[in-house]
Amino acid sequence: MISQFVEGTMNVLKLYGTLAGPIGRSGKNMDVFIGHDRAAVPATQGGLVEHLVKLNDKVIAEQNLAIQRNSFSKVIAEYTSPAAGEVAGRCSDAIAEPGDNLAVILVEKAGPVDET
């Protein structure tokens, strides 16, 4: 993570002419997912959470993200992705209460996007 920060800082300094040399890796030549919106997935029940996706996983709309069980292992809720995108965050606690965010999906905006 530190090396990425240093490389990015060096790129900015080179871009503005503070340092000489070619610009290194950037988002233009790497596999970077750029999201323009987010969709939260809140818990509707209280119970144990089993995540079915990891951070940075690509998901499609209605894909299963998590299962919630009660203390007797009975499935009490299943959570799906509200939109296609990439998993930007997820709850790390084993137990969730109603209203807790179980996952956050980074959503790519459809149609033309102003990158300025």
- By percentage, how much of the chain surpasses pLDDT 70? 94
Write out pLDDT tens, residues 80-90.
999 999 999 99
Distances (CA, A) of 76 to 61, 92, 102: 21, 19, 15
Q: Which two tokens stand for residue 20?
A: 């000489």
Q: What pLDDT score was predicted for residue 4? A: 84
Task: List CB contacts of 18: < 8 A, sequence separation 6 or more.
Answer: none
Distances (CA, A) of 109 to 30, 37, 113: 20, 7, 7
- Taking the C-alpha atoms of residue 48 and residue 66, their distance in angstroms, rounded to an integer, is 10
Write out pLDDT tens, residues 75-111.
999 999 999 999 999 999 999 999 999 999 999 876 5
Q: Residue 116 pLDDT > 50, yes or no?
A: no
Q: Which domains does the chain have, with CATH numbers?
A: 1-32 (no CATH), 33-110 (2.40.50.100)
pTM above 0.85, yes or no: no
**Phi then psi dihedrals of residue 7, to 5 deg:** -65, -40
